[in-house]
Amino acid sequence: MLNGGTTMRRLFLLLLISLAVSWGPSVNTAFGQSDSKTTTDGSRVLAPTDLRGQIKQWQNSIRDAGKLFKDGQVEQSAALIGAVQKGVLGAAKGSDKKKIRMLKPVYLKLARAHKLLASKGANLSPLQPLPDPAAIAVTNVSFVAQIAPMIVSKCGNCHVNQERGGFSAASFMALDQSAMIAYGLPEQSRIVEVIENGEMPKGNLKVTPEELRLLKAWVAEGANFDGKNPNASLASFGPRMPKPKKAPVVDLASMALTGKETISFAVDVAPILLDNCAECHIAGRQSRNLNMASLASLLQGGDSGAALTPGNSGTSEIVLRLKGEGRDVMPPNGKLDDDQIAKISKWIDEGARFEPVDVSYPLDVVARKGLANSMDHEQMTAVRDDASRKLWKLAYSDLEASETKTDNFLVFGTGSKARLANIGQQAESLASRTASVLKSQEGDPFIKGKASLFVVDKRYDFSEFGKMVEKRQFSRSISSSWNADGAEAYIVLLAPFSSEESSYELTLARDLAAVHVSGWNPTIPRWFADGMAYWTVAKMFKRNKALVNLDRSAASAVAQMKKPDDFISGKISADQAALVGYQFVSSLQSNSRSFKRLLKALREKEGFDQAFEQSYGISPKEFFGKAADNKKW
């Protein structure tokens, strides 16, 4: 005789089973992400949302049935499997190839459970096989002959050649994995939605009503693939995409400054392009193959040909797109102010002129150089003061800062004004020693426009600065960071109230030296400024125990690089690159005459690459490789 607890448990299980028979797979709650499976030919198949949810429920029911079976509850287990059997075979009726393939994994689990229960005498209906996908008639709409050519011709530049907006149609496999298609449900498919609402395709391209009808029919039929290789490039199924128009060769000598210009590319135009065009034309893959990372790449044009016609803004593609004249307005998130468009137009009308040295430098370097050259010390200080307050608010919206000023620094931070003043004076003393080691010109400001010194006393606040301002996670091993980028020149320092000034003296001195060296010349790369900074503090603090392992740490950072110049191409962290930079600068010391010539040229505003090659006879990259070959690293 069963006790009361066992009786209640049996009744509860019977209730669940009766619900399972009545409601099918909904007896179990689906949880987790929607399911997807991979077919034997490698293509990833997705089912409509309701079928994916049902499959997940059936899988849960099979798992629950297994638990009941292990507990000796064979009848209850068979009831759950019977409900799953009814649901799976019901879903398979009239399904296309895609859905049959999606159902196959859960069907195989069902078949194993069915066989095991049948061997124990469970009362189950015979399990009918799934329809053979190969026996299902081929659909009327061909992906290879009809859909692929339409996608290539109307969407190829943005989604076959590129992955614009995170959507790739480079192959059927890529399209299949994009979540743009709800199989069997054209009205729920994103690819249909963006065409119907006019969001896609961009430019003057249009999908005809007949093409849209075919696309909907293809999706409704299950979005089947009728080719041999789902990984083949979509371009191989359609007409050849038109080759990008080549921009005419530009005579750079004819575009040199004359001194009569009213608009400066570096001061007026480059900042506008950086602020509004970088996302699509500098970072990652460049939209329509127009690369604005430098003047040289901008002048090469893109798929539409030349980006600009010097002397004629009215026919320049970049201006026509900014104005939206016969084209989609760029940037996509909204038209620029009329004043900004007018500046770009005026620059082009004046001949699109620039300093020849700027043509190969990154646009952000050109903009920094333009800002530095266009302002005196006092004007730059005012800009830095305003920029620093904005940075503090960005990092600490609800934290009021104390502040003070010294000859070379704008000091903001937590704690009393008197404490900040002490740290400011410490920075002044270190700045004086740094200038002495580097033999900086007497009478010149340590940093043109001053540098901001952000002082915080909690690790949490220091980390917040990294997240909000520098968009990176500060390592627990560091307690300071610096940046010198046009309007911004700052050091953020973690200085707990309980710590002695000497505990962060070396860290502060290193970053002061880095900002100072960076201020010599906007073309100086960060790794060189960091390397010079480490070299400087090694000279200043020869007996400091904290520097005992500096050479060993630098050698370890070098050893971790796969290629000698990984640190110059950003393939290692900034902190590791700084150590490699120190090792590199140290190796430059072996030729003191060339090293002095290099520093002199940099102070005289010669471009870094040119100054290096003139001083050492080879490029920095060649020097890296040569040093590695000679095992001087």
Residue 210 corresponds to which tokens in the numbers above?
Answer: 């007949």
Residue 479 corresponds to which tokens in the numbers above?
Answer: 């307690």
Instruction: Decide if 124 contacts 78 (C-beta within 8 A).
Output: yes
Instruction: Decide if 588 contacts 594 (C-beta within 8 A).
Output: yes
Instruction: Decide if 353 contacts 257 (C-beta within 8 A).
Output: yes
| pLDDT tens column, 251-271 | 777 888 888 999 999 999 999
Cα 381 to Cα 103: distance, rounded to the nearest angstrom: 68
Maximum C-alpha span of the chain: 107
Amino acid letter, residue 303: D
| pLDDT tens column, 21-77 | 333 333 232 222 233 333 333 333 334 446 777 888 888 899 999 899 888 888 889
- Per DSSP, 145 falls in state I
In CATH terms, the fold of domain 375-519 is Glutaredoxin (3.40.30)
Kindly report the number of other CB atoms within 10 A of residue 221's CB atom: 18
Cα 549 to Cα 366: distance, rounded to the nearest angstrom: 37
Do β-strands 402-405 and 409-413 pair in parallel, antiparallel, or remain unpaired? antiparallel
Unique residue bearing structure tokens 């949810």: 53
Most confident range (mean pLDDT) of 124-133, 370-379, 430-439 is: 430-439
CA nearest to 215, candidates 165, 150, 123: 150
Task: Give the orientation angle of helix 592-603 with respect to helix 574-588, to 10 degrees.
Answer: 120
DSSP-assigned beta bridge partners for residue 494: 456
Cα 319 to Cα 329: distance, rounded to the nearest angstrom: 10
Of residues 573 and 164, more confidently modeled:
573
Q: From the DSSP assignment, how many helices (H) and strands (E) are in the chain?
A: 23, 7
Mean pLDDT of 425-440: 95
Task: Give the orientation angle of helix 377-395 with respect to helix 363-374, to 10 degrees.
Answer: 130
| pLDDT tens column, 207-244 | 888 888 888 888 887 788 888 888 888 777 755 545 55
- Please tell me the predicted confidence (pLDDT) of residue 19: 37
Mean pLDDT of 444-449: 93
Residue 171 corresponds to which tokens in the numbers above?
Answer: 């192959």
Residue 605 corresponds to which tokens in the numbers above?
Answer: 């505003």
Residue 194 corresponds to which tokens in the numbers above?
Answer: 């963006």
Residue 162 corresponds to which tokens in the numbers above?
Answer: 């590129």
C-alpha distances (whole Å) from 371 to each of 40, 265, 446 are 59, 11, 18
Cα 281 to Cα 301: distance, rounded to the nearest angstrom: 11
Residue 133 corresponds to which tokens in the numbers above?
Answer: 């996908």
Going 112 to 117 to 120 to 122, the CA torsion angle's sign is negative
Residue 86, helix vs strand vs coil: helix
Give the predicted TM-score (pTM) of the model.
0.60
DSSP-assigned beta bridge partners for residue 305: 302
- Per DSSP, 237 falls in state T
- Please tell me the predicted confidence (pLDDT) of residue 245: 55
> pLDDT band for position 134 (50/70/90)?
low
Question: In sequence order, what DSSP letters do the residues of 286-317 get, joined into one string?
Answer: PGGG---SBHHHHHT-BTBB-S--TT-GGG-H
Kindly tell me if the per-residue pLDDT of 537 is higher than 50.
yes
Cα 320 to Cα 330: distance, rounded to the nearest angstrom: 9
- Per DSSP, 197 falls in state T
Residue 45, helix vs strand vs coil: strand
Cα 481 to Cα 474: distance, rounded to the nearest angstrom: 9
Residue 213 corresponds to which tokens in the numbers above?
Answer: 């009808």
Unique residue bearing structure tokens 């902190």: 575
Q: Choose the weakest-confidence range: 96-110, 111-125, 519-533.
A: 96-110
Kindly tell me if the per-residue pLDDT of 394 is higher than 60.
yes
Residue 555 corresponds to which tokens in the numbers above?
Answer: 């050698």
- Per DSSP, 160 falls in state I
Unique residue bearing structure tokens 């921009």: 247
Q: Choose the weakest-confidence range: 50-59, 266-275, 483-492, 586-595.
A: 50-59
Using CA atoms in the order 144, 146, 147, 150, what is the torsion angle rounded to 10 degrees? 120
Question: In sequence order, what DSSP letters do the residues of 464-531 get, joined into one string?
Answer: HHIIIII-SPPPTT--EEEEEETTEEEEEEE--TTS-GGGGHHHHHHHHHHHHHHTT-TTS-HHHHHH
- Please tell me the predicted confidence (pLDDT) of residue 160: 72
CA nearest to 404, candidates 421, 427, 388, 389: 421
Question: In sequence order, what DSSP letters do the residues of 390-455 get, joined into one string?
Answer: HHHHHH-TT-PPEEEE-SSEEEEESS-HHHHHHHHHHHHHHHHHHHHHTTPPTTS-SSTT-EEEEE
Amino acid letter, residue 164: R
> pLDDT band for position 95 (50/70/90)?
low
Strands (E), 148-236: none
- Per DSSP, 284 falls in state S
CA nearest to 36, candidates 139, 181, 135: 181
Cα 46 to Cα 51: distance, rounded to the nearest angstrom: 9
Kindly tell me if the per-residue pLDDT of 149 is higher than 80.
yes
C-alpha distances (whole Å) from 570 to each of 186, 288, 466, 619 are 44, 25, 18, 18
CA nearest to 493, candidates 382, 418, 434, 409: 409
Encode 72-107: b = buried (16+ Cβ within 10 Å), e = exposed. ebbebbbbbbbbbbebbbebbeebbbbbbbbbbebb
- Please tell me the predicted confidence (pLDDT) of residue 157: 67
- Please tell me the predicted confidence (pLDDT) of residue 573: 80
Q: Sketch the domain layout of the chain as residue ranges.
A: 4-135, 143-236, 252-374, 375-519, 522-633
Cα 43 to Cα 36: distance, rounded to the nearest angstrom: 11
Question: In sequence order, what DSSP letters do the residues of 453-472 get, joined into one string?
Answer: EEEESSHHHHHHHIIIII-S
Kindly tell me if the per-residue pLDDT of 18 is higher than 70.
no
Amino acid letter, residue 437: V
